[in-house]
Structure 1
């Protein structure tokens, strides 16, 4: 009986410690984004001059381990970790005109996050898209370029994650992510919809079906879709 009690106490201590570490990470990430992101643009020059806050929040993220079965905490952690790591990658190559100007930015450069040495592509494609079939990830993972949906000035949090995913997706679909020509029944979409077409056509839906799920002014199913070039210029203030 005593062994069971000790085990239970140790488990509670571990769970409480994990919760505190994760909450502390979310709080510090939230403070960082609020300070350094305005209307989707990042204050790279200011961060480069004083990188302590960025380095501190990334240091906290090194040892945090979240199970994918704990879906909301897992997704929120890795979305924030991705966005912070993108900023770190640009700062490490600052000044730079585009993330693509830096070889291996997405697929070679590794970051120590969540107990792993991992690239940005692996976070996006293996840890998030690989485990969860949710096209809304494309509206919250921000690659450091103007072609991305804008970075928000707060952290993604497990308790508000679904609302945040919905909000960012609706903003994009009703905003600059699409260029609609009603007379010609044509819509141009960000190349994101071309590159990840399989995410936007899951479960037998069409791209127009996906758009109409989030768009206030619905498109006729006869609309033809094409794609406009992605703007890879860095999303700096």
Structure 2
């Protein structure tokens, strides 16, 4: 009976959807920066890689040609190796933000390519822990000699340092339900523009917000990270109105609650 109970628990946990996200817990080691620094990081290799392999769809979803990218992995490997050697603590804040966003996105693509073909990034079960799902907890790269995971970059660096909900429109988890991987690298000069454009595009796409037959269904991102979007349904609705096109904003103004959340974990693969 005990063995049966353990087996049932194992199967249950492995079948559970990802409905919770890590808290934003600051890793103080990465707060060091130099406001007067003028050094910049070269992201042209990542920019060129994106332009070669991203495929915008008629449905508003941008997908990556992972099969083609596998044969073009050397530039991505070299780019990540260069980022690993960057003394990021000596950069100014704007350069750091672009650095961490690009590192997260490039490392996610690199991880998928290392295990491709897969149907979903959640199938890449390399995180530590018996019941782990996905690659997010695995230490994948070192920066300034410090091993880092994707969770470290997003939840211990980007979210707690910048405290900007638009970060969620910048980092990409290789899924259809995620905000698009943008077709250009982030830089200190363009990050504000790209995050704003990403927010507008996602909120005004059915993946982000769907209002039909009187029901408001929004992305699970707004549930998992509710605290980042103002806390509670009222805060989320205010955030959505801020980035919605006029017609959608007017419809959201009449809403006092959210009916449901949804998310598509299928890989953002152009060949699917």
Q: Give 1:148's aligned residue.
A: 178
Q: What are the ranges of 5 or more consecutive residues in structure 2 without an aligned counterpart?
A: 1-36, 57-61, 128-134
Distance 1:198 1:69 in 2: 29
* Deviation per residue, 1:211-233 (Å, 9 max, x gap): 11111121125342133331111
1:14-48 Cα distance to aligned partner (Å, 9 max, x none): x67x53xx1x2x11211111112121211211121
Q: Secondary structure at the match of 2:217?
A: strand
TM-score by length of 2: 0.74
Residue 179 in structure 1 maps to residue 210 in structure 2: yes
Structure 1 residues 226, 112: closer, same or farther in 2, change over 3 A? farther
Indicate the residue corresponding to 2:166 in structure 1: 136
Note closer, same or farther for the CA distance 1:235–1:203 as it changes in structure 2 (3 Å cut): closer
Q: Structure 1 residue 27 and structure 2 residue 44: aligned?
A: yes
Please, which runs of 5 or more residues in structure 1 have no aligned partner? 1-14
Length-normalised TM-score, structure 1: 0.84
Aligned pair count reads 216
Deviation at 1:178, TM superposition (A): 0.6
CA contact (8 A) 1:36 1:43 kept: yes
Residue correspondence of structure 1 range 194-209 to structure 2 within 5 A: 194-201=223-230, 206-209=235-238
Query: Is 1:111 matched with 2:168?
Result: no
Which is further off, 220-229 or 89-98? 220-229
How far residue 143 of structure 1 moved from its aligned partner, in angstroms, is 0.4
Q: Measure the CA separation in 1 of the matches of 2:119 and 2:199.
A: 26
Say if 1:36 and 1:153, in contact at 8 Å, map to a contact too. no
Give the aligned CA root-mean-square deviation in angstroms.
2.1
**After superposition, where does 1:10-159 map in structure 2 within 5 Å?**
18-19=39-40, 22=41, 24=42, 26-39=43-56, 40-67=62-89, 70-103=92-125, 104=127, 105-113=135-143, 115-159=145-189
Structure 2 SS opposite 1:85:
helix
Work out which of the residue numbers 253, 256, 262 in structure 2 matches 1:220: 253
